Structure formats: structure tokens, C-alpha cells
Amino acid sequence: MKVRMSMIGGGEGSFIGPVHRMAARLDGMIDLVSGAFSSDPSVSKVTGLKEGLANERIYDTWQELIKAESQRPAGERPDFVAIVTPNHLHYGPARMALEAGFNVLCDKPLCLSVAEAIDLHETVERTGKLFCLTHNYTGYPMIKKAREMVLGGEIGEIRKVAVEYFQGWLSSPVETTGNRQAEWRADPHRAGIAGTMADIGTHAFNLAEYVTGLETVALSADLHSVLKGRLLDDDGSVLLLFNSGISGTLLASQIALGEENNLSLRVYGDKGSLCWRQMDPNSLKVMWSDKPLQIYRSATPFSTAGISAPLHLRIPAGHPEGFIEAFANLYRNFALNIMAVRENGKHDPLLDYPGINEGVRGMKFLEAVVSSAMNKSLRTAL
């Protein structure tokens, strides 16, 4: 039996909504059964009809959706609610959905504050429902390979971590030209306390911790609003201190003119080092002190010698798997976990996905970054 999904947000004109729906459908395991796709009821209706939904399961508000769908028979009600709204509409729908007995999948960052994040964590624990946070870059096969190599000790003791995420799409004030994606990201009421650091810096932070298995315990940050009149940061640099005692760097910018979606991670050990770039996601570069440079490629016998990476591949070597597939890996793994719970079975821990803990850590990161930048402090603890 397929897993049934309801969606909040992601209506016509949204970038991320269609991405979520494509990813959810990729493995044929998930059916979209209902939705409240926009704060504008007419947009929600148009989106729902295009998605083939019945009129009575297209809602004007997320509150109506959760209330009505929770009252449906067990064989009809959604197994989970996907929340793909601007940041300010993560906490309320997520909490109400959990309380109504739904599992929840939510876009990042988790919410607007650490206080909200902790409350959601407590709600997840109390209700016993499953929670997925869509840090989709953790779904790439070569990121799984990198994590396996690092945690397996192949590159030795970690000495340095460097993560960068550069985009250029906010190099001009596009939020003033009717660009809906830019408008809400530049609005503190909808985006929260941070701009670029919330939008892409949290991805970089999550990726560094996921691959290394380390936790950031303190940081020092410098944030800038490079474009005059912009209310939230569009560029920032962060020095990280990990629980192992080593340091790292995190750079995030959306005014890096000419950059597309340039996310990269480098992990330096005392035996070897790794480098992965989202613009070339099928490749993982491994550098050694005593042998030539190696480049692992997705779906080749060399890269699939591990355990986790092969579970996140769909097609043979030389056929690029990218952004949608990485997103789909999170949806599939979440759906498999829901199925396992439904059937009183065990979920394979290798088929993992970011959860509520990662959401809380992301909010602690954001509050520490903003506090450090505002106070010009040398170090702020998480």
C-alpha cells in the first residue's frame, strides 16, 4: 500500500513545491491526496485541480486541511503532511499536524526560533510521530560515500572542515521587482532573523555536521547586507569550533555574482582529504599524502563498495543523478520508515533522513550566528 501525502504550501508560482511533488512521486511509493497550496484560495484550487485532486480535498487554509483530513477514515487520511511554505509558516502547521496524529515532513529551517524548535522537538517526542527535515543535500549518493569514509576512519583524524555555499541570484534587489521567491526571503516577518544564513547557510551547516559526525559547539560570525536597504543578511562568514577541538569555516553568500548553486564541502584528515561539489554531484575527490588523487564516481564498482551509497542510486554510472533524486531519497526513506511503523517492522538505519534533532541544531546555529554578528563577539556557544 502506498503512503498518502497531504501538502501545505507549494502552489502555482512556487519553486520548491513542484520539486517536492516530483521527488515524492519518483519512486512510485507516495500519492498526493490533499492540499492547501496557498494562502490565496484561488491559487490553492488551481494547483489542486492540476494535481488531479478531488474538489473536497483542496482546502483554503492549512487549519481547515489538518482538521478535515484528521477526521477521515484510516484508509483515506494522509500518512504525513508535507510543509513547503515560507519559514514563518513552518511551526504552526507542523505542531498542529503532529497533534492531529500526522507524521510531518518540513522544509528547512525548522522554524523561527530555538524556543519554537524545542517545542516542536517535545511535540514529536510526546506524540511519537515521525519527522523529516528536507536538508536534501544529504541525499546525494556521493555524500553518503563521503560520510561513510569519514566515519569509517579512512581519511584518519579530522583536522579541518571547510564548507561554502555561493549563489548570485540576489546580486540585484530582485525582491523589489515582483520576484516572489526573493520577496519573502528578504522579509524578516516571513524569513525570520536571518536571510542568506537561514536560506542556504543552514544547508552548509547541516552538511558539515552530517558528513563528519561532529557537532559545532561555538562559532564566531560576520554578517552583511551588501545591498543597500536590504533588511536581512545576503553574505556571511562563520568560524566554527567543533566538539573534537578542531576548527572549520562556513561561507555563505547570495550576492556572489555569476554563481549558480555552488555548494562545496572539504574535509581534511591526517591520512587523506575529501572534496565534494554540488555542481558536480556524481564525483567525490579523495586526496592522499602517499598515493595519487582518486575520484570516486557514482554507481561505479569503486564507489559502490561501501554500504550506504548504493542504496541511494537509481541508474547506471554515467547517467547523472542530481537535485530531484537527492530530494527523492529523503522522501523515499521517510516513506519506508512510515511503512515500517505501520507494519510493526524495523526501518533500515542506512536509509536515513534529517529529522527534528537536525532542525533544533539548525536553529541554534542561526541564533548563535546572528548573536555573534550583532555583538561582534569572538565566540558564541551553541
219 and 100 fall within a common domain? no
DSSP result, 16-60 = HHHHHHHHHHTTS-EEEEEEE--SSHHHHHHHHHHTT--GGGB-S
Assess if residue 202 is contained within a domain: yes
Tens-digit pLDDT profile for residues 15-39: 999 999 999 999 999 999 999 999 9
Provide the pLDDT for residue 321: 83
Assess if residue 325 is contained within a domain: no
Assess if residue 70 is contained within a domain: yes
156 and 282 fall within a common domain? yes
Provide the pLDDT for residue 344: 86
* Contact (CB, 8 A) for 41 and 35: no
155 and 190 fall within a common domain? yes
Provide the pLDDT for residue 35: 98
Assess if residue 302 is contained within a domain: yes
Region 68-87: mean pLDDT is 97
Tens-digit pLDDT profile for residues 156-187: 999 999 999 999 999 999 999 999 999 999 99
In the predicted model, is pLDDT for residue 307 greater than 80? no
In the predicted model, is pLDDT for residue 261 greater than 90? yes
Provide the pLDDT for residue 50: 97
189 and 254 fall within a common domain? yes
Q: 301: pLDDT confidence band, cut at 50, 70 and 90? A: confident
Provide the pLDDT for residue 304: 61
In the predicted model, is pLDDT for residue 154 greater than 70? yes
Domain coverage including residue 120: 3-129
243 and 103 fall within a common domain? no
Provide the pLDDT for residue 282: 94
Tens-digit pLDDT profile for residues 317-342: 888 889 999 999 999 999 999 999 99
In the predicted model, is pLDDT for residue 13 greater than 70? yes
Q: What are the b/e assignments for 97-136, b being 16+ CB within 10 Å?
A: bbebebbbbbbbbbbbebebbeebbebbeebebbbbbbbb
157 and 119 fall within a common domain? no
Out of 129, 151, 186, pick the residue that ends a domain.
129
Assess if residue 335 is contained within a domain: no
Total structural domains within the chain? 2
Provide the pLDDT for residue 368: 97
In the predicted model, is pLDDT for residue 345 greater than 90? no
225 and 367 fall within a common domain? yes
Assess if residue 352 is contained within a domain: no
Tens-digit pLDDT profile for residues 92-144: 999 999 999 999 999 999 999 999 999 999 999 999 999 999 999 999 999 99
Read off the CATH number of the domain in which 272 is found. 3.30.360.10
Assess if residue 333 is contained within a domain: no
In the predicted model, is pLDDT for residue 306 greater than 70? no
Out of 107, 129, 151, pick the residue that ends a domain.
129
**Model-level pTM greater than 0.85?**
yes
Out of 95, 129, 163, pick the residue that ends a domain.
129
109 and 237 fall within a common domain? no
120 and 215 fall within a common domain? no
Residue with cell 522522501: 331
Read off the CATH number of the domain in which 11 is found. 3.40.50.720
Region 250-257: mean pLDDT is 98
254 and 208 fall within a common domain? yes
100 and 164 fall within a common domain? no
78 and 199 fall within a common domain? no
Assess if residue 355 is contained within a domain: no
Lowest-confidence pick of 188-197, 257-266, 292-301 = 292-301
Closest alpha carbon to 7 in 56, 88, 69: 69
The mean pLDDT value of the chain amounts to 95
Provide the pLDDT for residue 379: 86
Provide the pLDDT for residue 305: 59
